[in-house]
Amino acid sequence: MDNLDCLSDVQVAEKKLFLVQGEKPQLINWEKYGLRIGVQEDTLSPTNTVEVAVVALVGGEFVFPKNTVLVSAVYAVSVSKPLLKPLRLEIEHCIDLRGRPGLTQFLKFAIAPMSTPSLPYHFSVVQEGEFKADSWYGSIERKEFCLVSVVGQQLRQVAPWIGEEEGHGGNGGGAGGGGGQQTNEGEGGDQQQLEGQAGQTQHEVLIEGEHEEEEHDGLLDQGQEGQHSQQLVLEQGAQEPHQKGEDVQGQEEQQERGTTASPDDTMKPTGVKDAETYAGLVYYEKKETEDLVTFTAAKKLSALLEFIKSENSCAERGQNVYFSFNPFYSYIELKFDAPQEKPFTGWSIEPHLKPCRLRRCDVDNFGEANYPLPPCCLISVYGSPGAVPSLHYSVPLDGVADPVTLFIHRSLRTLSLPAIPVNPSPLPVPRKREQGLNLVSIRKGLQQALTRHRVDLSQAFNLSLTSIFNEMVQVGIVSNNTEKSYDAIITSLNVGMSFMKSSSDLELYCVKFLNGLSKVGGPVALAAETIYEEWTEASEGELLFDCLAKRAKNI
């Protein structure tokens, strides 16, 4: 892994070290993260052993060639010793080639050096590699290792007024349909020609012909209704940094407005964007009085989806769906007003955003410097005591190529009394402590106790920061938007203390924090016990949270 330590400002999904021994052919299967590595016979001498280090990246400061779109994760591959033969890297992409064998000619491998004097990492297309129409993987042989990815060409050169690709046999564009397989070689002239005509970051193409008679009510803005042609903007290449923060409305207007193509326009869409596939994932989290439903989406790539799963490891995963965007939409929308087949009396389903949409540009940008997490929609689900016992609520997805409907499935919560310990210890008789109790002084003592142990607590937190953060979200100490750090968690705890207006509220608030730490276990649980003792001493027996916490541990 030492060879990969030079990577900076990248978002890692997972890293792995594999050992390769002997001269026999071998297959390193890492399909969980979208990568396979083939080792040819006699790549090593019979007595040699080589370490193959791989890192799957979901994002970073990457710049890809103009007129291309990233359709895979990015992989860093390194070996500990020189090899006698190249390794065969097989990388997963998200382009659906079924029934579209011609698209293979528009998929390319792009590489970048792992060490660079300054960021970002600049990728360049290589005229090597192979893509098959019956596979979600492309393959390339590499002996010198670097950052590797798959990109899709967005626009192609065509003869004016014809609409068919010019020079099908001479510029690398004619092999895509032959047997559903394409080897990307000899396309340098075509690439230069495309880049020479790709001076802007967006091209506008008029989609007409077979769509002229179709109705598309509600798909475009009101000023476009009644037209007999649909206009679509195709994004070309990587956006410049100043373009990524443009206003939402401006982006949607660009994607939906378009202009009429002139007879001199010779750049037409390849169809790669329309063939991109995505995954939608549903997660459920139980809050104090409601269930929180999260719907998120990303490109259908194993590395990205595994990253999302790890970020939601404490949540219950629901049904996932695969989809492609409708080319006339710049977003997908969850529709909550659809007619329901099953009763939902007594249930409240409230989205946190209206309209409840995920924009395609936000989904595509996941992994860039300003998009460390995929976009999501949050929905609160609450069942009142008299509600029907089971909720099965349909939510159609609008803006997808093929119709799909999600279902929110929840069961009504039942109130249950906590179990009584077999040998309960006698509890002190509660006493009235509100009168004359100085909550400000007690809060200050509790906070000072945390400050005294800041170094030790910080080290303990860093051992299990993600688990601690998830527990604190569950009990309401921090929000999902809080920074995932020790200082941010403690600051949120202290702020919450300042809003506690009674001793009982302060006790319960502190118990939530302590029990959340205890659930993590290990050194963090020991840290929780230390805080128990410190807080008991700091409150001089005025608060009973120590006793309450011990009771909670026994239940």
Full DSSP string of 362-387: HHHHTTSTT-SS--EEEEEEEE-TTS
The whole-model pTM stands at 0.60
Q: For the residues 384-393, what does the mean pLDDT come to?
A: 93
Q: Higher model confidence: residue 439 or residue 445?
A: 445
Question: Does an H or E element contain 525, and which?
Answer: helix 522-538
Statement: residue 174 has pLDDT above 60: no
Q: Which residue's structure tokens are 């604190």?
A: 472
Q: How confident is the model at residue 358 (pLDDT cuts 50, 70, 90)?
A: very high
pLDDT at 220 over 60: no
The percent of residues above 70 in pLDDT, for the chain, comes to 73
Which residue's structure tokens are 């202009």? 259
Q: Which residues contact 26 (CB under 8 A, 6 or more apart)?
A: 20, 38, 39
pLDDT tens for 137-163 read 999 999 888 999 999 999 998 866 554
**Segment (H or E) for 394:** strand 390-398
Banded model confidence at residue 541, pLDDT cuts 50, 70, 90: low
Give the residue, 102 or 169, on which the prediction is more confident: 102
Residue-wise pLDDT tens digits, 30-87: 999 999 999 998 888 888 888 999 999 999 999 999 999 999 999 999 998 888 899 9
Taking only the tens place, the pLDDT of each residue in 296-333 is 999 999 999 999 999 888 899 999 999 999 999 999 99
State yes or no: pLDDT of 370 exceeds 50: yes
Separation of CA 213 from chain center: 38
* The pLDDT of residue 22 is above 70: yes
State the sign of the Cα–Cα–Cα–Cα dihedral 341, 345, 347, 351: positive
pLDDT band at 407 (very low <50, low <70, confident <90, very high): very high
- Residues 378, 349: Cα–Cα separation, whole Å: 11
**Spatial separation of the C-alpha atoms in residues 349 and 60, rounded to whole Å:** 36
pLDDT surpasses 90 at 135: yes
Question: Is residue 529 over pLDDT 70?
Answer: yes
Tokens of 359: 């924009």
3-class DSSP string for 33-79: HCEEEEECCCCCCCCCEEEEEEEEEEEECEECCCCEEECCCEEEEEE
pLDDT, position 414: 67
Alpha carbon distance 197, 267 (integer Å): 8
Strands (DSSP E) found in 399-468: 404-411
Q: Out of 17-31, 78-92, 221-235, 478-492, which region has the weakest mean confidence (pLDDT)?
A: 221-235
The pLDDT confidence band at residue 357, using thresholds 50, 70 and 90, is very high
Amino acid 161: pLDDT = 57
Instruction: Confirm if 426 and 493 have CB atoms less than 8 A apart.
Output: no
pLDDT of residue 334: 98
The pLDDT value given to residue 437: 56
Residues whose CB is less than 8 angstroms from the CB of residue 203 and which lie 6 or more positions away in sequence, other chains included: 155, 233, 234, 236, 267
Q: What confidence tier does 9 reach under pLDDT thresholds 50, 70, 90?
A: confident
- CA–CA distance from 369 to each of 148, 186, 238, 381, 462 (Å)? 19, 34, 13, 33, 23
Angle between helical axes of 454-463 and 439-452 (0-180°, round to 10): 70
Determine the pLDDT at residue 542: 67
Report the C-alpha gap between 491 and 508 in whole angstroms.
Answer: 18
For the stretch 457-497, pLDDT in tens is: 888 888 888 889 888 888 889 988 888 888 889 988 988 88
Q: Is the pLDDT of residue 335 over 90?
A: yes
As a whole number of angstroms, the distance between CA 400 and CA 403 comes to 6
pLDDT at 221: 41
Q: What does pLDDT average to over the chain?
A: 78
Task: Give, for 202, the enclosing helix (H) or strand (E).
Answer: strand 202-207
Other CB atoms within 10 A of residue 49 CB: 11
Give the strand pairing for 10-21 and 121-122: unpaired
